Amino acid sequence: MKSKETLYRWFTRLTKRLSERQLIMILAVVVGVAAGVAGHLLRGCIHLIKQGLTSWADIEAANVLYFLYPMVGIAVTVLFVTYWVKDDISHGVTRIFYAISRKESRIKPHNCYTSLLASSATIGFGGSVGAEAPIVLTGAAIGSTVGQFLRLNYKHITLLLGCGAGAAIAAVYKAPIAGFVFVIEVLMLELTFTSVVPLILASVAAATTTYLLVDMQPFFAGVSPSFALRDIPFYALLGIAGGCVSYFFANTSMRLEGRIKSIRKKRYRVLVGGLILGALIFVFPPLYGEGYEIITDLMTGRQAAIFDQSLFYEWRDAFWMILLYVAGILVFKVVAMTLTNASGGVGGTFAPSLFVGAIMGYLFAIVCNRFLGTQLPLAGFTLVGMATVMGGVMKAPITSMFLVAELTGGFALFLPLMLASAISFAVSYYFEPYSIYTKRLAARGELLTHNKDENAMQFLKTRSLIEYDFETVPLDGKLRHVIRAVEHTRRNVFPVVNNRGELMGVITMDDIRADMFDRDKYGTPLTRYMSKAPERIHPDEPIRSVMEKFEQTRAWNLPVVDEGGHYLGFVSKSKLLTAYREQLTHMSDE
């Protein structure tokens, strides 16, 4: 603790001549470089583990070890998370949303490395998930930790968190534009002058770090997609298909995850999920890990490579087998991804959505070419398919467009990318307005949006607004009890409770005004003056709901009761509005 304080003082003296904006820009570059290094380490760890486990196997024979690898990886991950981390690090992007909306963008420092280690074990041993969500959480944690250490305010911690998340995407995919757009579109950070430059600097720093540590080649080096105007109608149809597949992807994964997580004991979840996942990978080896090598093989005409180490190696050149095999991979990738995460593995849905989209685009092209006599380019439709499913699943068509364009280092497909992504987004939005990341949070009222007014309400808690200085009166009491209460309070509302403390009604000054100066009426039962409360509030009720009750009743004070109806206090409209204005000021970027 003392060393942290010393380091903080040293840093403060070192940067005292810098303006606030200059400091944030420098920190954005630092966070970007750190996220770039973290992304390189994660990729390296996954590659080393996978190569050690699979590179020696005979490609012409099925690898029976695929039955065991995933379960071992998930078991190692569960032990690490349970006994070392002691925190939930799954669903990385969702946890970032939760941190922004409920934790003032404060992410625990251990996330700077724990997601990296856990996902390396999960994916390296065959877990059918992506490394992007863990590395995005890692990058966001780096930004948040830097902000917390330097005692920055909420808006700057949030900005550095966004810098880390965007930098992670830029580093992993060598896609700085996509990294920047991801933060704006997916994490929904507000786009202002003060946020644009740091976000861009962080993404550029991360991509540059990756170029220095790896190479300058694009993610899918050697792939040169082509585009012809005559294919526009088919890209539009691909967009419709992508919207439907993205709905299937999100809906199936959430339903299946609920089923697996209904198994209460962790060891049984690991056993059941691991064995089923192992069986799927044994039958469909392309489900092992992220699967980017398979996408490259399909785009470059080496489709026979997807049969390596599978039971169907002998039929690798038969069209009908390729068709059935690829269709099976498309369907079971969603199942394999969900089994990995629900069983205790750590990984994301980002890469699986790209994988499923690529498979769908390839399948669409070969079917059209075979049965309709078209000459659709396999690489082009595979890439555009990636954008349609990813954009539909994440509700991020702009991010998907730029990401896929940057994956090949060119923008030759930008027109069909725009068309297909927009159509896919519209179709998927029709079925489900929330992304796979935000659906759970939206259901609990914990989701931040681009609406600053809505966001301010997310940070307010009803329990913190309760006022307790209201005088209660007994249900069996008389008017004199209220008169005595008036002498001890400035309030003009009096809750009426029974002998169990349950709220039975309220009495206002207006209710007793005609009789309060007539001593002959002091023995009148309170039930004559009592009225039912126009609405009741619960202490953990979302502020949006509380606000609506005030609007509907036009009341200035509403009582708060617990689940059993016991009186707790009141929330006043004036205090709610004051807290709301203060929160807006706190969140302001200027």
The pLDDT, as a whole number, for residue 37 is 96
Residue 522 lies in domain: 456-587
> Within this chain, do residues 39 and 166 fall inside the same structural domain, yes or no?
yes
Tally of CB atoms within 10 A around 456: 20
Average pLDDT value for residue range 54-60: 78
Going by C-alpha positions, the residue among 333, 346, 334 that lies closest to residue 283 is 333
> Within this chain, do residues 377 and 436 fall inside the same structural domain, yes or no?
yes
**Of 424, 447, 470, the domain-final residue:** 447
Q: How many Å apart are CA 506 and CA 437, to the nearest integer?
A: 43
Q: How many Å apart are CA 237 and CA 372, to the nearest integer?
A: 14
* Sign of the CA dihedral with 18 first, then 178, 90, and 464 last: positive
The pLDDT, as a whole number, for residue 590 is 41
CA 273 and chain centroid, separation: 23
- If one counts the domains in the chain, the total is 3
> What would you report as the CA-atom Rg of the chain, rounded to the nearest whole angstrom?
29
Structure tokens at 439: 């659906």
The pLDDT, as a whole number, for residue 171 is 94
501 is a domain residue: yes
Q: How many Å apart are CA 406 and CA 404, to the nearest integer?
A: 5
Which residues, listed in sequence order, are joined to residue 348 by a DSSP beta bridge? 130
Q: Are 555 and 535 in contact (CB under 8 A)?
A: yes
10 is a domain residue: no
Q: What is the DSSP string of 527-583?
A: GGT-B--S--B-TT--HHHHHHHHHHH--SEEEEE-TT-BEEEEEEHHHHHHHHHHH
13 is a domain residue: no
46 is a domain residue: yes
Report the interhelical angle of 176-185 vs 193-213 (nearest 10°): 140
**Of 402, 420, 447, the domain-final residue:** 447
The pLDDT, as a whole number, for residue 440 is 65
7 is a domain residue: no
What pLDDT, in 10s, does the model give residues 516-543? 888 888 888 888 899 999 999 999 888 8
What pLDDT, in 10s, does the model give residues 344-393? 999 988 899 999 999 999 999 999 999 999 999 999 999 999 999 999 99
Average pLDDT value for residue range 104-124: 92
Average pLDDT value for residue range 495-520: 88
The 3-class secondary structure across 420-444, one letter per residue, is HHHHHHHHHHHHCCCCCCCHHHHHC
Q: Which of 344-348, 434-438, 542-546 has the lowest mean pLDDT?
A: 434-438
The pLDDT, as a whole number, for residue 26 is 92
> Within this chain, do residues 159 and 268 fall inside the same structural domain, yes or no?
no
The pLDDT, as a whole number, for residue 14 is 74
> Within this chain, do residues 488 and 581 fall inside the same structural domain, yes or no?
yes
What CATH number has the domain bearing residue 302? 1.10.3080.10
Which residue type is seen at 68? L
Average pLDDT value for residue range 111-138: 93
Q: Are 362 and 384 in contact (CB under 8 A)?
A: no
Report the SS3 class of residue 472: coil
- DSSP structural state of residue 130: B
The pLDDT, as a whole number, for residue 93 is 82
224 is a domain residue: no
Report the SS3 class of residue 496: strand
What CATH number has the domain bearing residue 534? 3.10.580.10
**Of 391, 426, 447, the domain-final residue:** 447
The pLDDT, as a whole number, for residue 587 is 58
> Within this chain, do residues 178 and 251 fall inside the same structural domain, yes or no?
no
> Within this chain, do residues 183 and 102 fall inside the same structural domain, yes or no?
yes
> Within this chain, do residues 206 and 262 fall inside the same structural domain, yes or no?
no
> Within this chain, do residues 440 and 332 fall inside the same structural domain, yes or no?
yes
Tally of CB atoms within 10 A around 410: 13
- The pTM is what? 0.80
223 is a domain residue: no
174 is a domain residue: yes
CA 162 and chain centroid, separation: 13
> Within this chain, do residues 285 and 433 fall inside the same structural domain, yes or no?
yes
> Within this chain, do residues 427 and 465 fall inside the same structural domain, yes or no?
no
> Within this chain, do residues 270 and 419 fall inside the same structural domain, yes or no?
yes
> Within this chain, do residues 199 and 312 fall inside the same structural domain, yes or no?
no
